[in-house]
Amino acid sequence: MSKAEVEVAVVGAGAAGIGAARRLHEAGVDVLLIEARARLGGRSFTEPHPVVGPLDLGCGWLHSGDENPWTAIAERQGRAVERSAAPWSKAALAAGFPAEQQADFRAASERFHERLGEAASGSPDRPASACLEPGNRWNGLLDAVSTYVSGAELQRVSARDLAAYRDTGVNWRLGAGYGAVIARHADGVPLALECPVSEIDHSGRRIRLTTPQGEISAERAVVTLPTDLLAQEAVTFRPALPEKSEAARGLPLGLADKLYMALEGAEEFEIDSRAFGRTDRVATGSYHFRPLGRSVIEGYFGGALAADLERGGSAAFFDFARQELTGLFGAGFAGRLRPVASHSWGADPYARGSYSFASPGMAGKREILAASVDDRLFFAGEACSPRDYSTAHGALRTGLAAADAILAARGRR
């Protein structure tokens, strides 16, 4: 560990923690960025591949790219931003999903979102599933889309919170990898890797953080842990902070996992084309063909399906995807597929999920989670953002807000 006594300790080196630590470091604050893993980035994770290139196993899209602060950060790093249209903004492949059915589904989706907006303004809050049309043939597929967007089925998701999410509709990608850009943003910031924090004692004049590498003493701390770790009290606070663990329980992490597969003869598909494995059920994958022009399929699996597949490991994801894809393109397609990379976020001990959603009635917990304690203990992370939750830019903005609050408190002192 680089040092045991600092002015500010930042717990968690994901997008929020890196953003906070860099802002403080550049302001001349003695800061230490503390990360349990052996790598930076948290739930942003770019895995290099010698053949197909960098693969984002965590967040991969610059959502609201025209306003996303990571866009400018990436460009300052000299990274190219791919500004082509996202696959889901275009028609899906016709295999298993004829054009007229796609038009019906889009109409059902538009009606669902209209009802969602109406429900969000009502009282009390309801599950987002209440906005589905009873008996609509597309309810299963709408629920499947929810598992990619929220990591959970609509019955588990707050209508009010879902409607509050803000997005400009502009979605871009980074050939170098989103996770690589986020990790690079920590360059020059003092850090301690493989250093999980087990206890944060804020009872005394200084905050004491217990780690396997020794105790760290700080005047202030920024905590950026995922909500499932806070809810399950993976870190002990002394004195206890029951309002934080309660808020975190109302903002559980959904599950959205990816599987990359190499595809022989991929050129027959258009770049960034897409398909659903099935259109008649919730438990289905979504498949992007040739993302960024690479000869791979990027498969998405969410909610209860992803949780079930995680129990079988990476082989279960590949078997499921192969079965769905051969159902679309014929038995011979199986021989053209080869698994390349995946990551099970629910099984990741330092994540325990992908990104937060609010349970019905819990949308207001985001502000509670984000509130500072005694002007010394600050909280940040995507779950603390009321409008940009579940995104790396939402996490960054909350990290910057925590850093700015610390700088303001130093000024008052």
- Please provide the DSSP assignment of 150-180 as one string: TSS-GGGSBHHHHHH----S-EEEETT-HHH
In a domain, 140, yes or no: yes
One domain, residues 135 and 274:
yes
In a domain, 352, yes or no: no
One domain, residues 336 and 372:
no
One domain, residues 272 and 298:
yes
In this prediction, residue 89 carries a pLDDT of 93
Q: Mind listing the pLDDT tens digit for each residue in 293-329?
A: 999 999 999 999 999 999 999 999 999 999 999 999 9
One domain, residues 304 and 318:
yes
In a domain, 149, yes or no: yes
CA-wise closest residue to 69 among 185, 180, 150, 175: 185
Structural domain count, the chain = 2
In a domain, 297, yes or no: yes
One domain, residues 397 and 272:
no
At which of 343, 371, 394 does a domain end? Answer: 343
One domain, residues 366 and 245:
yes
In this prediction, residue 142 carries a pLDDT of 98
In a domain, 164, yes or no: yes
The interaxial angle of helices 303-310 and 139-149, nearest 10 deg, is 60
In a domain, 356, yes or no: no
In this prediction, residue 1 carries a pLDDT of 55
pLDDT tens sequence for the chain (413 residues): 567 999 999 999 999 999 999 999 999 999 999 999 999 999 999 999 999 999 999 999 999 999 999 999 999 999 999 999 999 999 999 999 999 999 999 999 999 999 999 988 877 999 999 999 999 999 999 999 999 999 999 999 999 999 999 999 999 999 999 999 999 999 999 999 999 999 999 999 999 999 999 999 999 999 999 999 999 999 999 999 999 999 999 999 999 999 999 999 999 999 999 999 999 999 999 999 999 999 999 999 999 999 999 999 999 999 999 999 999 999 999 999 999 999 999 999 999 999 999 999 999 999 999 999 999 999 999 999 999 999 999 999 999 999 999 999 988 66
In this prediction, residue 2 carries a pLDDT of 62
- Residue 216: which CATH number? 3.50.50.60
In this prediction, residue 58 carries a pLDDT of 98
One domain, residues 184 and 287:
no
One domain, residues 262 and 163:
yes
One domain, residues 264 and 159:
yes
- Domain ranges, residue 133: 90-169+256-343
One domain, residues 235 and 286:
no
One domain, residues 268 and 159:
yes
- Residue 100: which CATH number? 3.90.660
In a domain, 209, yes or no: yes
In a domain, 247, yes or no: yes
Residue 3 neighbours by CB under 8 Å, 6+ apart: 32, 190
One domain, residues 383 and 312:
no
Q: Give the CA distances from residue 85 to residues 62, 170, 198, 244, in Å, rounded to whole numbers and listed in that order.
A: 12, 8, 43, 39
8-state DSSP, 38: S
